[in-house]
Structure 1
Amino acid sequence: MYSEAVIHALGNEYNAAILGAADEARSAQALSDELDIPIATCYRRIEELEEADLLEHEGRELSEGRRRVSVYRRTVDQVVVDFERGGYDVTVEERASVANKLDEVWRSISSS
């Protein structure tokens, strides 16, 4: 599931910074402002991170301007890339609440 997509996503400018800042649900505008990333670039990077399963759309919240905005949160706590034996291995530690959701889904499927 991870590996090439993760390597590609982390290789793009700003993506690691976005992941670092998205430990709590944040809007694209908040990320853009905090990290000094142009908003259009921020949206493109968010899309890349979602495609790599490193970031997820967590919902919609009311902004300071009283508009509904999408908020995003990282799905991982740690990514380790090990370059040994002429290749690479990617290890991803999922955020605890994400892992718990997956366990719940698996249990409900298994008991059916």
Structure 2
Amino acid sequence: MVRDPSRREEPPDPQAVLSALSDDDAVDIIAALDAPKTASELSEECDIPLSTTYRKLELLTDADLLQESTEIRRDGQHTTRYDVAFDSVTVELDEDNALSIEFSRPDRATDERLAALWSQVREET
């Protein structure tokens, strides 16, 4: 399943975002994502066991901090790549003392929009 937080209609859960950002391994993964990478690449680069890396990637994608994309290969061995899905995160306390989270999202390039559209078409067929 490919997840792209820019396509979500509901706002992110503030607790999920804060939990993800308070996790040292998750923050290390975000820091390592200077370009889209696979879980294996992140595991090796961050020196985190692969099973832990997958859990942290799940935590980050559930919090809308990462986006997933599928790299389609000619040999049929497709792989999931992860990338940072925000430029900035703002945490606010409203007049009712409720937390809210707002993301500033990067503009997506044409090839990224096409890849997202293709992934969506594949999911629906």
For this structure pair, what is the TM-score category when the shorter chain's length is used for normalisation? 0.5 to 0.7
Structure 2 unmatched runs, 5+: 1-10, 114-125
Structure 1 unmatched runs, 5+: 102-112
- Structure 1 counterpart of 2:48: 37
Closer/same/farther in 2, CA of residues 75 and 34 from structure 1, 3 Å limit: same
Partner Cα distance (1:71, 1:96) in 2: 18
> In percent, how many aligned pairs have the same letter?
28
- Structure 2 counterpart of 1:54: 65
Q: TM-score scaled to structure 1, two decimals?
A: 0.68
Closer/same/farther in 2, CA of residues 27 and 61 from structure 1, 3 Å limit: farther
Q: TM-score scaled to structure 2, two decimals?
A: 0.62
- Structure 1 counterpart of 2:79: 69
Partner Cα distance (2:91, 2:28) in 1: 17
**Matches for 1:1-112 after TM superposition, within 5 Å:** 1-2=11-12, 3-60=14-71, 68-81=78-91, 88-97=99-108
- 1:71 CA displacement: 0.9
Higher relative contact order (CA 8 A, sep 6+): 2
Partner Cα distance (1:8, 1:28) in 2: 20
Moved over 3 A (4+): 80-91
Q: Over aligned residues, Cα RMSD in angstroms?
A: 2.9
Letter of the structure 1 residue corresponding to residue 105 of structure 2: E
- 1:9 CA displacement: 1.3
